[in-house]
Each structure stands twice: as C-alpha cells, then as structure tokens.
Structure 1
Amino acid sequence: MTLPRTHRRTFAAVGALAGAAMVTAMVGVPATAAPSVGEIRSAGGATAVADSYIVVLKDSAVGGRAGTRQGAVKSTAKSLADRFGGTVGNVYGDALNGFSVKLSEQAAKRLAAHPSVDYVEQNHTVTTQATQFNPPWGLDRIDQRNRPLSASYTYTSTGAGVTAYIIDTGIRKSHVDFAGAAVDGIDTIDGALPADDCNGHGTHVAGTVGGNAYGVAKDVRLVAVRVLNCAGSGTWDQVIAGVNWVTGNHLPGQPAVANMSLGGGLTAALNTAVANSIADGVTYAVASGNSYGANACNYSPASVSTALTVNASDSNDARATFSNIGTCTDLFAPGVSVLSAWSTSDTATNTISGTSMASPHVAGAAARVLQLNPSWTPAQVHSYIVTQATPNVISNAGTGSPNRLLYAAPTS
C-alpha cells in the first residue's frame, strides 16, 4: 500500500537566492520571495472535486487534540480561508481538527505550506457499496457455526440501550420495520433535517442493523446520519462532517456503534476522523469495498485499523466475487442477496448485495455485545467479535484475508 505523502515546501535554488541577494545589495530594493507552496494529497483523479479541499490542522495550532478545541478550530478555519481567498464549508473539531474549503488549486498549495496546517487533501466523491441481486436469504447463517442452515435466527440480546449511527443515505424512519426506533441525527447533504432516505440504501442498512423483521439487534436505537445523496454518492467532506457529528453527539459512557457502508479511495483525513471517533468510544463497522478482490488497504474507511472492516460472503460460505480482501479486513459476514427494508414505502423491501450488506450484520452483532457489556471499549468489542467469529469456513477468502465468518451466538 502506498501511503499519501505529507506536504513538503518547495524552496528556490541556492543560486537563485544568492542572485537575489546580490541584486538587493546593488540596488537597495528588497527582493520579493516566491510564496512557499505545499503538496496536495490525493490530488486529481476521476473522483476529485474541483477546487474543494479538506484541511487538517496541527493540534498545536488550535491548542489541543480533536474534541477539545472546537472554537479554536472554527476561528482558525475562518482566518486561513480569509487569508487565502477561500470559502469555509464544513468545520470539524470533534473527530478531526480541520475543515473543508473551496479555493483555487494554487491557493490550496500555498495554504498547505502554512505552519498551522498539517496537510491538505483534495476532496473526492464517495459512493455506497452495494449491487442489485434478486434471490433473498435470511439472518440464520450468523447464529450457527456450520451449515446447513436451521431456517431460524435465535438470540437473547437485542441491542437494547445501544445507539446505532447509520452513516449513509438517511433512513425512512416511518417504515414499519423500525416501529419508531429510528430518529434523525444530521443531514450533511441538505444541511437541514429530516435526514430522509431518497435512495433506499440507508434504510436497507438500518434494517439489517436493527429492524424488527430483518435486523440483527432488534431493539437498538437507530440514528440517521445522512452523508450521501439520492444517487447514493457524496463527498469526503460531507462524510467527515457526519463522523464529526457522531463523535460530538456521542455521550461518554453511552454504548454506541456506527456503520459505514460506503467507501472510496484512500483518504487520511477520513481515516483520522473515524479513528478518533473510535477512540471517543464508538465502535465502527465498515464495508471493505466492492472492487472484486482489490486490497482493502487502499480504500477508506476500510483501511482504518481500529474499525471492524467486513468482507462479504454468500450463502454457500464463499467469498462474494465483488468483495475486497486483504490484511486490512477483519472478518466476513453475509452480503449476497440480503433482504431488508427499503425506502419507497413504509412496507417496502428489497434484496441487494454488497459489502454494504455485510457490514451492518457486524454492527448489529456489536450492538448486541454492548447491551450485555455496556462498559466495553471499541477495542474490546473488536477483539470479541473477531475472536468469536467462526474460523476456516470461507472458501477462496483471498490473499491476506482472515478466514473468519461472523458468529452472533444465540446467548450473546
């Protein structure tokens, strides 16, 4: 995996500086130095958003780590945007000391060299991780170690008392499968509530996490964090704003999980935000991606080491052909032809496939674990989920992938 490089300043050659000094001495007029410029991480590419950047500040520039100096982040963002001729978009501060900004490429390069800035990253679009298929199958694979399936899903815990943040396209909260358990959180697409789902993906994911008929954790509280639009796409700055809100909304000691069934190219800013949100006490399940056997280490948020990164398996315990693989992933979960709630009506359902469908199975299982162990840290939940997973049942798991299938024990 090639990690993004930190920004570097470009200085004039020694000979040029010497020449400038000579001219100054001769004519008595101060030489004007060229402005320092830095590097833009993740610049260009098909998904790049023109003239849109994510700025990550040094902790020292705002006087503390993320989550402690929100006011300083806001004032620093305005000051830097004004100085370099930009317009501030989203201001973070809970999950990340940073902000998004609209400005020219050249101005962004100058901003990257400012001593208060850790790095500047180009904004990119991000999409859901799902593909349409028809034949449905149920939840019963994850409550047993081996096939054949028992045609039942047995459980004693339901995720009661746990909050599940669905970072996605929104949720159709009125759907009968939620029975009032789904509420609005934030909408970073329209900037105002309600965080309704005009795509379907978020409702489907929420149904798998905590729906009455289709959910793993049937009594979890579902919170809609809308960061993707009606087409199922958004930008990294909008996704980071959602993660930032989750981090600020989460109360100390409150058992909580978050699901991110979305992904795109590698971005240090999002990975940092998710890692900080996990450090704040929220357990994250994330999709490994649907790039047909690609290395998940090259994608975000799949490459966040402290998140539960989930590959997709089918009903025959084979790796789904579309699923990413690799050492940055943690386990497999059902992700082919998954039936769940849909957004077109209060009773609608749909059967779709993707690592997007695998990840919410793990988020629901984590919510059940937290109901019984509400003081556990994300690291403890992560360890338990991975350790309890059924080993060596996935065929063609892929190079570097851990051969483990999610197991949500009936008594856990």
Structure 2
Amino acid sequence: MRKLALFLIILNLLTALAVPPHFNDEDIILAPLFSSADAEVIPDQYIVAFKDDVTADRISYHHDCVSNMMSEERKKVKRGFMAELISGIKHTYDSDVFKGYSGRFSEEMLNKIRQSDEVAYVEKDSKVYSEVVQYNAPWGLARISHRDPLGFITFSRYLYDATAGSDVTVYVVDTGINIDHVEFGSRARWGVTVPDDDEDVDNNGHGTHVAGTAVGTRFGVAKKANVVAVKVLNSDGSGTTSDVIKGVEYVVRSHLDEMRRARQDGRPFKGSVANLSLGGSKSRTLDTAINAAVTLGVHFVVAAGNSDSDACNESPAAAEKAITVGASTFDDVRASFSNYGPCVDIFAPGKDILSAWIGSYTSARILSGTSMAAPHITGLVAYFLGLDAESTSDFAVTRLTSKKMRDMIVSLATRDILDDVPADTPNLLAFNNFDPTS
C-alpha cells in the first residue's frame, strides 16, 4: 500500500506540472530562460512568468506542486549550503501587474518548472542599484520653473502653484523614507518593506532624498502631495529585480484600494505616481510589470541610468509606458553620467541636488544622479494631477492617463536648450508652465 501511495503522489505531481511524456532529451520542451548579457545575475535565483491564459486553479495547483517537490528535494540533503540553495518560492505575484513567482531553485528543480505547461518563460533574477553619484540649493526647482537659463536673480526662485499636488499620492520605490523628517510633515507614511529580514527604516538615505525632491516642503516640486515608502532596496542601495516587481505590485494594489476608499468616503483623490530611481540590466519581466501597472492607472517615472550609455539597454529605463528621465546640470548640459537614447523622454536637474536626508528630522545632503532627476518629474506629474480641476470626478484617475501626462510634459518642455545631447535623444528640459501673472 505504501508503494502504491508513493506512486500516486509522484504521478499527481507530474500531471500537475504538465510535463509531457518523453523517452529522450529531444522530447522535452522547456520554457525559455532569459538573462541580459550584462546582468549581475544572482546565482540560482529566478523569476517565473505564467502564461496569460492560465487559470487561477492551475496557478494554485502549480504552486502546491512546486512546494511539494521542494519538500521532497530538501529531504535528500542535509542542512547547510545545499538546503539554502533549494530554499524554494520567495514571492508570488498574483495581480493584473504580473502573474508568476520568484525564488531560489536547484538546476534540477528549475528544469522541472520550465517543463510546466503553465510557464511562459523564466528570467534569471539580477541585482538592481540606486542610480546615484554622490558629491559634496535646490537649484533644480528653480530650473523647472524658468524657460531661460538660470541667472543671478532666478537661480534660487521656484515659481509654482502652492496647491499643486493636493490629493495625490506619490510612491517612492527605493530604500525607504525618513517619514519623520520635517520636509514631509504629516504627509508621509510607511507602506511596505519587501526585502527579507529588513526593517521599516531608511538606513541608506537615497529614498529620503528622492522623496524630498518630489514632495518636500522646502526641497520638493509638489509640496502638497502625500508620499508612501515602498522599500525594495537594502541599506547599501542594492536589491533584486524580484523584490522590485513585488514593490510595483504593492503600489498598484494600494492605488486601487485608495481609489475605492476615496469614492466610498466621498473625498477627492486625484491619482498616484510612482518613482523608481533605480536600475539594472535589461529585464523583460520588470518592464512588463511596470507597463501593466501604468495600464491600471498608476503613473510611473523611472531614472534613465548613470552609465553614460543607451538607456534602452537597462531596466526599468526601457519600460515603454513609463516616463524615463535623464539628468541635466545647472549650466544646461547633459550630465556626464546620464544615459541617453530614444528611451529617454525628458531631462530634469540631476547634478548637485540638495534634498532631505537621514540621521535627524532636519538633515539634508547634496547628491547627483538620474536618481535625483527622476523625482523632479515625479513631482511634476503630481503637480499637474493636483491642478486638474476635473479630477475630482468619478473618472479622476483615468482622465489624465500616463500617455496624456507624458505628452503634456513633453509638449511643455523647453526644447533644444541642453548641450551634449546625442542626436537620437529628445533635447527636452522639464518645465512646470507656471505663469505668475495669471
């Protein structure tokens, strides 16, 4: 009886994973395994994407079978290195953003997963990093509110509508935020911490700096917007693609929940914008998740990258539906580190940017990078959403779609004012279109 029971368990597992019967290697069909040539791959860690037509029941069955097979695999090894190597599923993704899962699997287990009829493809998980270059006046705010190059009188003058950003939520997908900083008042809250065994604190500073530029009272573009910390990077500013995707999923769920609650309570809600000042090698899974999130109503702004190369070769800079931002200097030159190319939508100030920091409630620091440029545009998106008079209607979060927002930001931009911009790159510098005389 025991032998029969064992046989039935094995048969059910094989059936659940839909492994086609085979008699030699030529009969095995494996789902594609993707990885960018320049990716900093995390050994034995993978992101698994389900096919679009897979039902919820099949997904649940697949997860159960993988978990059961992992349990059997663990029994074959002793505690230690090998047990850690086959740790199994870490994240599951079950939303309209992306359906799949990620985790650490042995080569044998990976091959079984790739044989499953439910799996569209597998991508090797890889490192992502905050896009920052550190150097020791938020001149950037002044620059996006003046058409002409900054001068003695204008370099510290930020012209803006004081109500801009009202009833808008900004998600900073980063290292976290110093939510008690005076820059944020009562407008900041902690959303989620994705990395394992981490804490709800920004121990790096990068995320706090980004948030300050987007919505800070002194340093920020949209001074009335709310801000939410979505921690996907560790204290050293690095993380994994799989954790970033989980952060994107959180943003969409939170956005949809806030939209629903606002309508139930009869209060205004004008939309959400997410900032990703991070990057790594090209990832079709991350780009797909961001594009799906935009389709679901969240505006996404991403850094172009700091490698002085084509932004189309990095993610999330290459995500088609996000607004990709390059960095400019005080002298209206493309920053020497800034990526370029047709995937860049617009430039914003990104060198020697002063913003909020960690360590105290009032600390500040100057940083440079496309990480600093992106939140200028994130703030600008929140700024325009807050000014949208019709966005208190039932169609608040769909009237100004991401495409319409990008088209508006591009149409308002100051053209052909930047030096050292390659011919295949839009020569556009962000402008908030504020008219102090109106």
- TM-score of the superposed pair, with normalisation by structure 2: 0.81
Q: How far off is 1:382 after superposition?
A: 1.3
Q: Report what 2:409 is aligned to.
A: 385
3-state SS in 1 of match to 2:289: helix
Does 2:33 align with 1:33? Answer: no
Alignment of 1:335-346 (within 5 A): 335-346=350-361
Cα distance between partner residues in 2 of 1:75 and 1:232: 36
Q: How far off is 1:81 after superposition?
A: 4.6
3-state SS in 1 of match to 2:185: coil
Q: Report what 1:97 is aligned to.
A: 99
Q: Report what 2:243 is aligned to.
A: 238
- Whether contact under 8 Å (2:164, 2:387) holds in the other structure is no
Deviations 1:38-70 (A, max 9, x none): 43200786611111100010121136xxxxxxx
Cα distance between partner residues in 2 of 1:147 and 1:389: 13
Q: Report what 1:410 is aligned to.
A: 434
Deviations 1:300-350 (A, max 9, x none): 000011110000000011000000000011010000000000012111100
- Whether contact under 8 Å (1:184, 1:223) holds in the other structure is yes
Flag the 1:246–1:388 CA change in 2: closer, same or farther, 3 A.
same
Q: How many residues align?
A: 374
Q: How far off is 1:153 after superposition?
A: 0.6
- Whether contact under 8 Å (2:39, 2:127) holds in the other structure is no
Q: Structure 2: which 5+ residue stretches go unaligned? A: 1-20, 74-85, 261-268
Flag the 1:45–1:354 CA change in 2: closer, same or farther, 3 A.
closer
Amino acid at match of 2:115: A
- Whether contact under 8 Å (2:353, 2:367) holds in the other structure is yes
Q: Report what 1:394 is aligned to.
A: 418
- Whether contact under 8 Å (1:43, 1:121) holds in the other structure is no
- Whether contact under 8 Å (2:287, 2:320) holds in the other structure is no
3-state SS in 1 of match to 2:65: helix
3-state SS in 1 of match to 2:139: coil
Cα distance between partner residues in 2 of 1:219 and 1:195: 24
- Whether contact under 8 Å (1:260, 1:286) holds in the other structure is yes
Q: How far off is 1:369 after superposition?
A: 0.8
Does 2:63 align with 1:77? Answer: yes
Where in structure 1 do 4 or more consecutive aligned residues deviate above 4 Å? 43-46, 71-75, 83-86
Question: Which one of 45, 50, 54 corresponds to residue 52 of structure 1?
Answer: 45
Cα distance between partner residues in 2 of 1:165 and 1:31: 48
Task: Calculate the aligned-residue CA RMSD, in Å.
Answer: 2.2
Deviations 1:188-243 (A, max 9, x none): 01467x63200000000000000000000001110000000000000011000000
Does 2:230 align with 1:225? Answer: yes
Range that drifts further, 35-44 or 143-152: 35-44
Flag the 1:136–1:165 CA change in 2: closer, same or farther, 3 A.
closer
Q: Percent identity?
A: 39
Higher normalized helix content (fraction of residues): 2
Question: Which one of 317, 323, 326 corresponds to residue 341 of structure 2?
Answer: 326
3-state SS in 1 of match to 2:299: strand
Deviations 1:280-307 (A, max 9, x none): 1000110000002x11111000001111
Does 2:295 align with 1:279? Answer: yes
Cα distance between partner residues in 1 of 2:386 and 2:139: 26
Amino acid at match of 2:276: M
Q: Report what 1:13 is aligned to.
A: none
Cα distance between partner residues in 2 of 1:202 and 1:181: 15
Cα distance between partner residues in 1 of 2:24 and 2:125: 30
Q: Report what 1:124 is aligned to.
A: 126
Q: How far off is 1:246 after superposition?
A: 0.6
Amino acid at match of 2:106: S
Q: Report what 1:257 is aligned to.
A: 273
Q: How far off is 1:177 after superposition?
A: 0.8
Q: Structure 1: which 5+ residue stretches go unaligned? A: 1-29, 64-70
Q: Report what 1:200 is aligned to.
A: 205
3-state SS in 2 of match to 1:350: strand
Range that drifts further, 141-150 or 265-274: 141-150
3-state SS in 1 of match to 2:117: coil
Cα distance between partner residues in 2 of 1:212 and 1:73: 46
Q: How far off is 1:88 after superposition?
A: 1.0
Range that drifts further, 318-327 or 134-143: 134-143
Does 2:221 align with 1:210? Answer: no
Cα distance between partner residues in 2 of 1:335 and 1:31: 56
